[in-house]
Structure 1
Amino acid sequence: MRRLRVLHRTIYVYSDVVSSSYGRAFLTPREFPGQHLLSHDIRVDPVPSDRSVGTDVYGNTTLYFHVTAEHRRLEVTGESVVELESPTAPDEQPTWEQARPSGENGPLAVEFALDLTPPEIIPEVAAYAAESFPPGRPLLEAVKELTARIHTDFAYESGSTTVTTRVADVFADRHGVCQDFARLAIACLRSLGLAARYVSGYLATDPPPGKERMVGADATHAWAAVWLPGDGEGLLGDGDGHWIGFDPTNNQFADDRYVTVAWGRDYADVPPLRGIIYTDAKESTITVSVDVAPLEE
């Protein structure tokens, strides 16, 4: 059992007055077997004139807010305490062919096997995926190899891509960040007819030996999850089979250091913060800091 405190702060500064700001935030960690949300709060400054909390089609908690006070600076801070358990692998593991969505609960996962619009599955990605998925291979064994290959073949370069970068460009350039590697892995699995989710959240990182943790050194993280048929809950379970998280950026399956905030078919479904402002400002800056710190039980 691991208990973590997450502090996620986003600050926007504008060169002119903003008269109205609408925002939507995915900052509330999910609740499911293996992850328990003990406390949570989202603070917005200036204080919104209107705010509401809802649930999207995937069960993610989302906050809507509207700031009507004139401002040149907007700060959104999410603070959470979560309790995590180490996931356990399913007792039986199907071959990857058997893991394609089908059967009694397959329809709940089938949309996660479909390509995006515009398409992300290109012939090169499909061929790359096929190398790890020979006929009859156990699913998680194949996923483990694919995870390791992406980790080895693609360089992590902060700032080398944006949220609009296509999987085809990442594959051609051989570099990117965590969200790119998660999306590449998802496209690989979907090219084989497998169901895969994009997962947004946080990762508790350990400091180098002899060094103290640096506040704000952590960042939002992204990884993927693959679907296994069955009636279990799994790491990201919600009653529709097993979902097993895996992280190509760090070459491992997700464990009790991973705090899940939201999941969807792609990054566009679950950005941490998105909004619309009304202003004559020509310039703006954004500063994001995330701190994931262990707490004593």
Structure 2
Amino acid sequence: MRLTIRHETAYHYEDQVRASIQYLRLPPHDSDRQQVLSWQLDLPRPVRAQLDPFGNILHVLTLDEPHDAIIIGARGQVEIDETQEAEHESQSALPFLRFTRLTEADEALRSFAAKECRKRKNRSALIDLMQALNQHMAYKPGTTEVDTSAAEAFAGRVGVCQDHTHAFLACARSLGVPARYVSGYLFSAESEHLASHAWAEAWLDDAWYSFDVTNQLARPERHLKLAVGLDYLDACPVRGMRRGGGFEQMHAKVLVTPTLSVQQQ
């Protein structure tokens, strides 16, 4: 499947911002599952790409002059291999056993993981865990914040894809299974589903396997990966800081559309 992406994030401020910095993890990279055919960033000024500690493509946009708006755009095409269920990497998976504030497993999460997996640490067990978390935590936008922890969302029994992913990471790591946060895009024919998405990957049998708790998908057939990390803060596509500006309005528009690949035409 070939996916075409158009993504725009716009910030507008009540007063002028004196200076700002944006950390952008918007370009995807080639892997076993995806091949980047074209990609372009539309930024207020040229920015050089670099790699962050997790291997993500990172751009750091710094604006030192006063401004009252920032518009960040990304567009391109990526070929998704729908037959690939796992991805192989040479880097160690052990760092993804580490808990963070957002993914700390409290007693409730540890007990939940132990109950659902029953000492199993295979793909079947984690699929059971994924489905159980989906049943336990209803998808309900607006009920959590970006700094809501896995334990808080799990206790409240509601959340969004970010919270589902954090809860899965907390459970998997409590079982001794390396797991990481993934940000990216999901193609869905249903208009109520957001194209920007988050899911988890777990290290099993020397490969990374996907677990999309929100959609109960264990095969990433319609997923385009942008970045990975220990939690949302490491992998979110756009994250920034500013001095001044007062009240902020942020609007994000994402369009993901499938097109026929050369082999399918």
Q: Secondary structure at the match of 2:123?
A: helix
Tell me whether 1:222 sits opposite 2:206 in the alignment: no
Q: Quick one: which of 66, 78, 84 aligns to 2:80?
A: 84
C-alpha distance 266-119 of structure 1, shift in aligned 2 (>3 A): closer
Tell me whether 1:189 sits opposite 2:154 in the alignment: no
Supply the distance in 1 between the matched residues of 2:66 and 2:215 (Cα, whole angstroms): 43
Name the amino acid aligned to 1:123: E
Aligned to 1:99: none
Supply the distance in 2 between the matched residues of 1:118 and 1:271 (Cα, whole angstroms): 13
State the Cα distance separating 1:278 from its structure 2 match.
Answer: 3.1
Q: Secondary structure at the match of 1:253?
A: coil
TM-score, normalised via structure 1 length: 0.81
Tell me whether 1:124 sits opposite 2:108 in the alignment: yes
Q: How does 1:39-58 map to 2 (within 5 A)?
A: 39-44=38-43, 47-48=44-45, 51-58=47-54
Task: Kindly indicate whether the alpha-carbon contact (under 8 Å) linking 1:197 and 1:265 is maintained by their aligned counterparts in 2.
Answer: yes
Aligned to 2:69: 73
Q: How does 1:230-249 map to 2 (within 5 A)?
A: 241-249=206-214
Name the amino acid aligned to 1:7: R
* 1:32-91: CA deviation from partner (whole Å, max 9, x where unpaired): 0110011111112xx22x62210011110011122345432210011121000114457x
Tell me whether 1:133 sits opposite 2:121 in the alignment: no
Aligned to 1:251: 216
Larger Rg: 1
C-alpha distance 131-243 of structure 1, shift in aligned 2 (>3 A): same
Supply the distance in 2 between the matched residues of 1:203 and 1:27 (Cα, whole angstroms): 14
Aligned to 2:242: 277
Name the amino acid aligned to 1:134: R
Aligned to 2:99: 115
TM-score, normalised via structure 2 length: 0.91
% identical equivalent positions: 31
State the Cα distance separating 1:14 from its structure 2 match.
Answer: 0.7
Tell me whether 1:286 sits opposite 2:250 in the alignment: yes
Q: Secondary structure at the match of 2:47?
A: strand
Task: Kindly indicate whether the alpha-carbon contact (under 8 Å) linking 2:138 and 2:159 is maintained by their aligned counterparts in 1.
Answer: yes
Aligned to 2:60: 64
C-alpha distance 119-33 of structure 1, shift in aligned 2 (>3 A): closer
State the Cα distance separating 1:219 from its structure 2 match.
Answer: 3.3
Q: Quick one: which of 251, 260, 265 aligns to 1:296?
A: 260
Task: Kindly indicate whether the alpha-carbon contact (under 8 Å) linking 1:112 and 1:197 is maintained by their aligned counterparts in 2.
Answer: yes
Aligned to 2:233: 268
Task: Kindly indicate whether the alpha-carbon contact (under 8 Å) linking 1:218 and 1:289 is maintained by their aligned counterparts in 2.
Answer: no
State the Cα distance separating 1:201 from its structure 2 match.
Answer: 0.5
State the Cα distance separating 1:118 from its structure 2 match.
Answer: 7.3
State the Cα distance separating 1:134 from its structure 2 match.
Answer: 2.0
Supply the distance in 2 between the matched residues of 1:282 and 1:134 (Cα, whole angstroms): 51
Supply the distance in 1 between the matched residues of 2:252 and 2:161 (Cα, whole angstroms): 16
Name the amino acid aligned to 1:32: S
Supply the distance in 2 between the matched residues of 1:6 and 1:88 (Cα, whole angstroms): 21
C-alpha distance 152-138 of structure 1, shift in aligned 2 (>3 A): same
State the Cα distance separating 1:183 from its structure 2 match.
Answer: 0.6
Task: Kindly indicate whether the alpha-carbon contact (under 8 Å) linking 2:41 and 2:72 is maintained by their aligned counterparts in 1.
Answer: yes
Name the amino acid aligned to 2:6: L
State the Cα distance separating 1:254 from its structure 2 match.
Answer: 3.3
* Unpaired stretches in structure 2, ≥5 consecutive residues: none
Q: Secondary structure at the match of 1:121?
A: coil
State the Cα distance separating 1:117 from its structure 2 match.
Answer: 4.4
State the Cα distance separating 1:30 from its structure 2 match.
Answer: 2.2
* 1:73-123: CA deviation from partner (whole Å, max 9, x where unpaired): 210011121000114457xxxxxxxxxxxxxx8x81111112224771111
State the Cα distance separating 1:256 from its structure 2 match.
Answer: 2.0
Supply the distance in 2 between the matched residues of 1:30 and 1:60 (Cα, whole angstroms): 8
* Unpaired stretches in structure 1, ≥5 consecutive residues: 91-104, 208-212, 230-240
Task: Kindly indicate whether the alpha-carbon contact (under 8 Å) linking 2:37 and 2:76 is maintained by their aligned counterparts in 1.
Answer: yes
Supply the distance in 1 between the matched residues of 2:186 and 2:101 (Cα, whole angstroms): 29
Residues paired across the two proteins, number: 258
Supply the distance in 2 between the matched residues of 1:190 and 1:138 (Cα, whole angstroms): 11
Supply the distance in 2 between the matched residues of 1:192 and 1:291 (Cα, whole angstroms): 37
Q: Secondary structure at the match of 1:186?
A: helix
Task: Kindly indicate whether the alpha-carbon contact (under 8 Å) linking 2:134 and 2:216 is maintained by their aligned counterparts in 1.
Answer: yes
Supply the distance in 2 between the matched residues of 1:142 and 1:120 (Cα, whole angstroms): 20
